[in-house]
Structure 1
Amino acid sequence: MTLLNLRRAVALWFAALFTLVGIPIWYKLTTIYRAPLPSTYIGSIQENMHSDIHVVVPVYVRSDTYKFPDVHDAIQAEVNALIEARAGRLNWSLQVLQPESHEDLNPETDHVLTLVLDDFTGYSIAYDSKETAVFFDNEAVVSNDVPFFAAQTLVEHTFATEWEHFSHPSRERDDATTEMAISYSPEVHLSISLLTGDGRPVAWDIDSTLEQYFTPLRRFLAPIVNFTVDTSIVQFNDLNLGALQQAHNPSWLDLAHTVDLSDLSSMNHYREKAVLNLAVVFPSAASGSLAFINATSEKPWQSFMVPQWGALVINKDPLPDNSRLTQNYLAPVMYNFVREMFQFLGLSSKSADLSTPYTTIDSFKRVATLKNLEKGAHTLLSLTKLADQFPQMSVPRQVLDNVERALNLRLQIVELLNDPSQGSESTWNTALRLSNNFVQVCEKAFFDKAMVQQNFFPQEHKIAVYLPLLGPLTVITFTGLIKVLREKDESEAKRDETQKESEAEGDNNDEKQILAED
């Protein structure tokens, strides 16, 4: 092999290596990984949010006086008619059952409808259980009105929360409830603060008060929310209440123009997403008594509900020197806050609605579970839209794993809700827990670090970054290849040169011959 052929072979090898190996490796290393998200399936869930959900709540009917053999069937027909008459955005129903034995019923865990013969017609929902009593007289029996009375009581009173949320064509009811309530979260932090306008020494029996008045509620609400609590005393801060001396019967909207709660809220940072606050405020001695506070000798304070923040308890008079707030003072404050907490948590639209806590909590589990399903579906849809909007954005494998896990959790929840054989308290606890996990996994997928940081290169950025490197390499490689291919061997060059010299000599001889003839 001549030297020229060797040089040509090397040049061709470099060009082939650059084209067939270098460029594919560069493209492979610079190509982002995009996990195939089930966008079509997620979109169908969003479009038909509740098409595969049918909430079934079992209710057991018993009668202590008359033995109605088919009363549960009659009540079932009336219940179905009431629910179907009101078009809603979600399918739900009550499954009216007749227990095999009254001894098997547990009103603390099962919804029980008791028919009671009395002198009047009415109903009563128990405070300490899930039992609903429907009172009827003999005239109602004769006119066959007992099934309708029972059905109306169940649908419009016992399950009023489901009736308003599930059988409502729009979300207006939900929006009205959330004006005061914080966003639902299974983890809620409760921050309790004592604020004084002076630096006088002060103490309070908050630990014993919480143990006696808040711990029972904390245990009662454990299936739906877990509380963490902190307490603090803040001195030389009365929220500038002295500027409101001229106010008359102000509401929180009036106080909001003067009272700034941002400093109080930003004092601490909590691990929990949802935070409730209870601030007990005493004015400074310089401000004197606050005339706008409606106080009595038994209740020297007035409570203001701050939307999506908590309760602000403002005292009329300043604290004296070396004061200690005992349970005699703190117990009414805590009891009032506990009544308002139902509204802050979204359990009720009225702060004093504690007449049926067992039924209210049970209904809240169902509503919260459905809201979590909607929230998670919205999050997954936003994830797919984000991925489609940025074709060069990386979609890591762990994002796809979390999406698949979330969809599996949703299927488990739907199966629980749709199963007529389920419906006990443990079922709703499980469904709520799974729905909380569903929301958490959806948010984990959406807020993945690789996606939150938008760690991707658009195509034009990729070209701009690598062109200064690949451009010169490409020019050098292929220019050298073309130059080598155009070169000729030395022997060929000598033959060409000899041929040119002979042709030149022949031309000269011809010229001489022509001159000689002339």
Structure 2
Amino acid sequence: MEKTKNSPVFKPKRRDKNEDKFRIGATVAFIVVIIVVGLPMWWKTTTVYRVSLPSSGIGRLSERPIRTAVEVGIYTQQPSRAQLLITELQAAFSDSDIWAITFTKLPPTTKTIEAHTPAALEAILLKTHPQSVGDFMFIEWPKLTEELLLTTERSALMRSDATSNKLALALNSKILQTYRINEILSKNERLGTKTEAPQPAYDVIVSVLNPKPRLTYAQWNVALAVQTYIEPFLAQVSDISNYTVRSQWKYRVSIDAELKQVRDSTKLGRHYALQESALPHILTSIAQNMTASITDKPAINLVVYIPPCNTAPIHIYNKNNEMLTQQGVDAFISPPWGGFIIANPPEHVCLAYNKNEAPVPYYVNTNDNMQVMLSQLHKLLDISNELQIDGIKSVALEQLAPRRWEYEAYIRRSAIKHIATATNTLQSLIKLLDQISYIVITDKVGAEITNSYADILAAKAALLEHRLLDASALAKRAFVASERGFFDASLLAQLYFPDEQKYAIYIPLFLPIMVPVVTSFKMLYKQKQLKHKQE
């Protein structure tokens, strides 16, 4: 079909230049909002908050050894002998990585020569040469049976023929307890100590178990006994930990153990044997009944068990069938759980029971049981040192407080343990935080870690500067701060939301938005090319 002469010709619609400007402006605005505003805001809001930490310094904590300064005085009647002992002792401790010992010669005076008793001589020397916490003194006293006799204070009497080797052995084994420090600092798990660092606070629960109160009329003011014996002792050893003491009676709680009847020459004609191997099972059977209240503090249980007369008296036997009763008391400890004492009723009480007579009331022996309980506390708190060495003896305790040198060794050992534990905790935490980048580090956690690190450095310096109590307080504070930082709940807030999951969630959200951004870039490029051709 032919076109007529006047038929119209279709031309492409001409785009308005203003419309192109608006289109380009909208595209640029969209790109600016998404890239300049949206992406930085997304990055900021999804970034894990991590406060700055002294990671490099914490990593180098193990490079600086823990050294402790100690001053040891030597008194002899002949100054030349004292100088010889000092020279030999300095040589013995010259290569020690733990101790920085200063040996001091204490010259004899008219008063010291005229002293007639060791106590008088010691008092004179302490007055003229005052000691600091952790110091020690060897005092020569010719009239001595043992080569070395450790007193209850910071001193030891030595015989005139005592050698420097014996003094060095006493320092290493009894006074400074080097072998225990080596166990704490050992990096070999087989050689290292298994004990935990002392906690800031403990609950001490004294429990009296009377499984059959209708048949056993045992009477005992246990609260008064605790106030008289246990509380004063714990008050004197509270530099490391605080103790809350409680007492309670528990009825109808019996031990779950097999008892074997053994014939003997007593009026009862028999007793019951409790095998040493069964002792852990006893603690398991009564443990759930011991806690007086639920607290977050670790508990030290001190249990006095009063067996009924049908199974009394009970004595503990070892695997060699030897009775372990000492000074008429059967007891054992199980660190760190606590101690167990068997308080057998008096013989006349059980004789009346065997004759079917009315139950006889009686009083539990306070002194015997409390003395055993104090001895158990010495061991449970790791204060006592029972290492036996030929020629070295310790004066028997006649007081509630522990020996001063023994307790200060405990303070020193606890400080080193706290420093070592806090160091390991911080290094483990820093390693974990470096490996997992999406764990949040709040200001609180950062402050705990930083404060613990600073206190570790200060505690090490205090040990080397002869400030044992200051070092102990700083080390304890460092330990507590490191534990709080390590177990802070905020560290787990995003532990199960790693970067992979974050990207898996946000990519499907942002990918559809980024497609128009990419196409807008393409459109802008074409517009630029078109404008260039037109020009």
Which TM-score tier does this pair reach, normalised by the shorter chain? Answer: 0.7 to 0.9
Cα gap change, 1:309 to 1:12, in 2 (>3 Å): same
Matched residues in 2 for 1:25 and 1:42: separation?
34
Fraction of identical pairs, as percent = 18
Greater shift in the superposed pair: 148-157 or 355-364: 148-157
Match of 1:389 in 2: 435
Map 1:64-79 → 2, pairs under 5 A: 66-68=77-79, 71-79=81-89
Shift of the alpha carbon at 1:237?
1.3
Cα gap change, 1:461 to 1:417, in 2 (>3 Å): same
Give secondary structure in 2 for the equivalent of 1:268.
coil
Match of 1:97 in 2: 104
Match of 1:491 in 2: none
Matched residues in 2 for 1:299 and 1:154: separation?
29
Match of 2:171 in 1: 155
Matched residues in 1 for 2:377 and 2:187: separation?
22
Shift of the alpha carbon at 1:229?
0.7
Q: Is the 8 A contact 1:58 1:97 kept in 2?
A: yes
Shift of the alpha carbon at 1:30?
0.3
Q: For 1:312, give the aligned amino acid.
A: F
Q: For 1:221, give the aligned amino acid.
A: V
Match of 1:194 in 2: 208
Match of 1:367 in 2: 413
Cα gap change, 1:72 to 1:154, in 2 (>3 Å): farther
1:402 to 418, 427, 448: 448
Matched residues in 2 for 1:300 and 1:75: separation?
44
Greater shift in the superposed pair: 400-409 or 338-347: 400-409
Match of 1:263 in 2: 288
Cα gap change, 1:453 to 1:312, in 2 (>3 Å): farther
Give secondary structure in 1 for the equivalent of 2:141.
strand
Map 1:2-401 → 2, pairs under 5 A: 2-46=18-62, 48=63, 50=65, 53-63=66-76, 66-68=77-79, 71-84=81-94, 90-98=97-105, 102=125, 103-106=127-130, 110-118=135-143, 122-127=147-152, 129-136=153-160, 140=161, 148=164, 151-152=167-168, 154-156=170-172, 159=175, 161-166=176-181, 171=186, 183-198=197-212, 200=214, 204-241=220-257, 243-245=258-260, 249-257=273-281, 259-265=284-290, 268-272=293-297, 274-283=298-307, 288-289=311-312, 292=315, 302-316=330-344, 326=363, 329-348=365-384, 350=386, 355=397, 357-401=403-447
Q: TM-score, normalised by structure 1?
A: 0.75
Q: Is the 8 A contact 2:48 2:438 kept in 1?
A: yes
Shift of the alpha carbon at 1:184?
1.8
Matched residues in 1 for 2:145 and 2:446: separation?
61
Shift of the alpha carbon at 1:108?
9.2
Shift of the alpha carbon at 1:448?
2.3
Matched residues in 2 for 1:36 and 1:481: separation?
40
Matched residues in 1 for 2:244 and 2:518: separation?
70
Match of 1:443 in 2: 483
Q: TM-score, normalised by structure 2?
A: 0.73
Give secondary structure in 2 for the equivalent of 1:470.
helix
Cα gap change, 1:99 to 1:400, in 2 (>3 Å): farther
Q: Is the 8 A contact 1:60 1:98 kept in 2?
A: yes
Q: Is the 8 A contact 2:301 2:338 kept in 1?
A: yes
Matched residues in 1 for 2:237 and 2:244: separation?
13
Aligned length: 458
Q: Is the 8 A contact 1:278 1:312 kept in 2?
A: yes
Give secondary structure in 1 for the equivalent of 2:212.
coil
Shift of the alpha carbon at 1:134?
1.3
Shift of the alpha carbon at 1:381?
0.9
Q: For 2:140, give the aligned amino acid.
A: L
Mark the runs of 5 or more structure 1 residues left unpaired by the alignment: 141-145, 488-518
Matched residues in 2 for 1:479 and 1:330: separation?
92
CA displacement 1:327-363 (0-9 Å, x = unmatched):
x523211210111222111123549986571111111
Matched residues in 2 for 1:322 and 1:108: separation?
57
Matched residues in 1 for 2:373 and 2:289: separation?
18
Q: For 1:236, give the aligned amino acid.
A: R
Q: For 1:163, give the aligned amino acid.
A: T
Matched residues in 1 for 2:483 and 2:326: separation?
48
Q: Is the 8 A contact 2:24 2:524 kept in 1?
A: yes
Matched residues in 2 for 1:431 and 1:20: separation?
54
Give secondary structure in 2 for the equivalent of 1:117.
coil
Q: Is the 8 A contact 2:70 2:100 kept in 1?
A: yes
Matched residues in 2 for 1:323 and 1:176: separation?
54
Give secondary structure in 2 for the equivalent of 1:124.
strand
Shift of the alpha carbon at 1:218?
1.8
Shift of the alpha carbon at 1:15?
1.9
Cα gap change, 1:367 to 1:126, in 2 (>3 Å): same
Match of 1:511 in 2: none
Q: For 1:194, give the aligned amino acid.
A: V
Q: For 2:101, give the aligned amino acid.
A: L
Query: Rg larger in 1 or in 2?
Result: 1
Greater shift in the superposed pair: 330-339 or 296-305: 296-305
Give secondary structure in 2 for the equivalent of 1:256.
helix
